[in-house]
Amino acid sequence: MIAYATLGTNDLQRSAKFYDALLGALGAKRAMEFDRMIIWATAPNAPMLGVCTPFDGKPANSGNGTMVSLGASSKEQVDQLYKKALELGGTDEGAPGQRGPAFYIGYFRDLDGNKLNLFCPT
């Protein structure tokens, strides 16, 4: 259902390094690059995630209640990539763990304060 999602950034190159490393660990590569936007994907017709500087020229900020979930293949991968996000400068928003009977999730914020999670169904 989702084709792509974008997150705002105030420093495109800094965000690019963060997401190259984090999304690269999920098998994603840069699929598109523009002056103010970079988009990653795992395959040509797969959902994509991008970062961009806001079109209106105003500072990017994280939306309250906005979150992007990144799919992981296992609990171990959630743990590894959550740790990697923090090593890359992201901040903790909830350590990996079982959430309800069917979800294993770790929450973090990227370098611009955007909230994401790593998700694996259990």
CA distance 69 to 102: 15
**Residue 74 in domain:** yes
Q: Name the residue range of residue 114's domain.
A: 4-53+66-121
Angle at 63 between CA 55 and CA 16, to 5 degrees: 55
Which pLDDT value is given to residue 1?
A: 77
Which residues face 68 on adjacent strands? 116
Q: Number of folded domains in the chain?
A: 1
Question: Tens digits of per-residue pLDDT, 30-78?
Answer: 999 999 999 999 999 999 999 999 999 999 999 889 999 999 999 999 9
In a domain, 59, yes or no: no
Note whether residue 114 is domain-resident. yes
Q: Mean pLDDT, to the nearest integer, of 90-103?
A: 96
Residue 89: give its domain's CATH number: 3.10.180.10
Answer whether residue 23 is part of any domain: yes
| 106 DSSP 8-state letter | E
Q: Does residue 103 lie within any of the structural domains? A: yes
In a domain, 60, yes or no: no
